[in-house]
Amino acid sequence: MPDPPVFLCDASCLTDRMRVDRLAEALRDSCDLTVIPYACGERGVRKMREILEVSEASHGVILTGRCPAGEALGEVLADSGHAVTCLDVSAYASETVAAAHVLFRLRTEKKPAPRRARKVYADAVLVIGGGVAGVQAALDLAEAEKKVYLVERAVSIGGIMSQLDKTFPTLDCSICILGPKLADVGRNPNIELLTLTEVSSIKGEAGRFDVTLTLHPRYVDMSRCTGCGSCSEVCPVILPNEWDLNLKPRKCIHILFAQSIPLRASVDMNHCIGCQLCVRACEKEAINLEDTERKKKIKVGAIVVTAGLDPFDATKRAGYGYGRYENVFTNIDFERIVCASGPTGGSLVRPDGKPIKKVAFIQCVGSRDVRFNRYCSGFCCMASIKEAMLIKENVPDAEVTIFFNDIRAAGKGFEELYLRVLKHGVSFIKGFPSWIEEDAETRDLMLNFEEMVEGTHRSAMRVDAVILAGGVEPDEALAGLAETLGVERDPFGFLEERHPTLSAIETTVPGIFMAGGVQGPKDIPESVAQASGAAARALAMIHRLKARSRSQDESERSS
């Protein structure tokens, strides 16, 4: 077999580390070497194509520095029917050592066997997680005429956004803007929505994944249930409603929230006493308490992971008393409290009925803290600012204080909202309270902190309620999902990007894309943009693989 042409890239990525002339000198006699100024540039590629065109060998080798060009170069040359491998030679101690390694690789390494393009499952895509990111990805894919399987673990799609009251920076009502999107998903003929479902195994590669799904029982036949709610009326088991953060009751058979999609009842089997009252109450005969788990196998060309993130468990910050003190809340609890559809009907009152007039927010709970999560959660400054604004709108004379380290209002319209709450008299104190005490009688809270005005002073503040800006962290189950999919996670536990800049919405496995909170904390607009982005990457990949497999079929037929 003829020797492959070797291209030595003469560009900054390599010249930062090594002298290209010396390396060329060391290699020139032992292989078919060409020095290419900027192999990754248009001219470099033209030159390499010319050489590959006349070469007897069917592939080439490009020696580069530490740079991410390999993948794109592979694709560019594949477009003209050439195969190349890229070798990063910049890490060796000297030019001669590098040359020795290169020659060794050239001698021992077999030419990569041309990959047989296999048949592509080009018509379907799997989206895992039905938060705002998954919803957007599913809608975009469906709009481009793909069949979409939208798999959601919970009984309804919607994710965190469905629990929010208003959204920063424009303070529009969260469910009012999300609800219609959820309804679009429910209506779209190209989307098969699978709630109470998880991915149990996957086989295959980009372009053809065989996926097995586990469908957990709902105990209600979705095709019959109309969402009328008669079952919940008669159900005798009353439980705290976790969707309203246990601040409001629900029944054992229940519909999660008014805008749920699908708007169908489901039974919480852990608490069902089997009384059958609902079965009898349901005119549609939709309830089957014997329902069982099922498996479903699907074939998809690409996967988009949008499994979201989880609010930080604030009980871990024991000193702030979350979970022990009745009037210490988190941001997400507070979203439910101010929401008109929430437990207090939108009135700012504590569980004991006392109006909330004096409030303190504590930022960075669980974030920017090496004991918990060392990253910044990105949106919680804005979440608190938004909630402070909502308090001021509800109770103009409320006293609101925000304890912070840095105020991170870095997004379109964010600084403007920050300035607005400042104008409304919200106070900001730099530094965090060290601990919180509860007045056993009044249940008011005492914050102890250091104030830096003309030196440092110990200070205390008494408030009706404390709101902890708990950040977000990877979902508990994400590790398991990542393992099932074979994708890597980053040091923080989120999914790792293929390249942090160039392919931030691709996982480490080709053909598996991602968007939203799984990739790291972010706000809604960024989640939505990424979701559309992941949809595009999936569409483009499927199209490319399909075209390649078609052209291979054709060339096989003609030969």
Distance of CA 45 to the CA centre of its chain: 36
Among 12, 94, 201, 226, binds ligand SF4 (CB under 6 A): 226
The angle that helices 132-143 and 524-558 make with each other, rounded to 10 degrees, is 40
> How far apart are the C-alpha atoms of 221 and 312, rounded to whole Å?
35
Residue 383, amino acid? A
Is residue 419 near other proteins by the rule CB under 8 A?
A: yes
Among 228, 247, 269, 395, binds ligand SF4 (CB under 6 A): 228
> How far apart are the C-alpha atoms of 282 and 41, rounded to whole Å?
68
Q: Is 5 helix (H, G, I), strand (E, B) or coil?
A: coil
Among 137, 194, 196, 364, binds ligand SF4 (CB under 6 A): 364
Among 124, 263, 421, 426, binds other proteins (CB under 8 A): 263
Alpha helices in 424-523 (DSSP H): 478-485
| In the complex, least distance from residue 361 CB atom to ligand SF4, rounded to whole angstroms | 9
Among 167, 330, 363, 508, binds ligand SF4 (CB under 6 A): 363
Which residues share a beta bridge with 404?
430
> How far apart are the C-alpha atoms of 56 and 2, rounded to whole Å?
6
Residue 411 binding target from other proteins, ligand SF4, ligand FAD, none, CB below 5 to 8 Å by type: other proteins
**Binding mask 397-426 vs ligand SF4 (x if CB under 6 A, - otherwise)?**
---------x-x-x----------------
Residue 538, amino acid? A
Which residues share a beta bridge with 167?
172
Largest CA distance in the chain: 89
Query: Which is closer to other proteins, CB of 42 or CB of 290?
Result: 42
**Binding mask 280-319 vs other proteins (x if CB under 8 A, - otherwise)?**
----------------------------------------
Residue 301 binding target from other proteins, ligand FAD, ligand SF4, none, CB below 5 to 8 Å by type: none
Interacting span for other proteins (CB under 8 A) from 137-145, 190-198, 215-223, 285-293: 137-145
Q: Is 429 helix (H, G, I), strand (E, B) or coil?
A: strand
| In the complex, least distance from residue 436 CB atom to other proteins, rounded to whole angstroms | 23
Query: Which is closer to other proteins, CB of 110 or CB of 423?
Result: 423
Residue 282 binding target from ligand FAD, other proteins, ligand SF4, none, CB below 5 to 8 Å by type: ligand SF4
Among 28, 49, 248, 284, binds ligand SF4 (CB under 6 A): 284
Is residue 183 near other proteins by the rule CB under 8 A?
A: yes
| In the complex, least distance from residue 42 CB atom to ligand FAD, rounded to whole angstroms | 16
Q: Which residues bind ligand FAD (CB under 6 A)?
A: 128-134, 151-154, 159-161, 164, 167-168, 198, 306-309, 311, 331-332, 335, 379, 383, 386, 472, 475, 477, 481, 501, 516-517, 522-524, 527
> How far apart are the C-alpha atoms of 12 and 69, rounded to whole Å?
13
Sheet holding 435-438, edge to edge: 435-438, 445-452, 456-463
Is residue 510 near other proteins by the rule CB under 8 A?
A: no
Return the structure tokens found at 15. Answer: 């010249």
Say if residues 122 and 511 touch (Cβ distance below 8 Å): no
User: Which burial class, exposed, middle or buried, applies to 25 when counting CB atoms under 10 A from its CB (0-12, 13-18, 19+)?
Assistant: middle
CA distances from 265 to 150, 219, 254 (A): 19, 9, 5
Residue 220 backbone phi and psi in degrees, to 5:
-135, 130
The residue ranges that bind ligand SF4 (CB under 6 A) are 220, 225-231, 265, 281-282, 284, 286-287, 363-364, 367-368, 376-381, 406, 408, 410, 469, 471
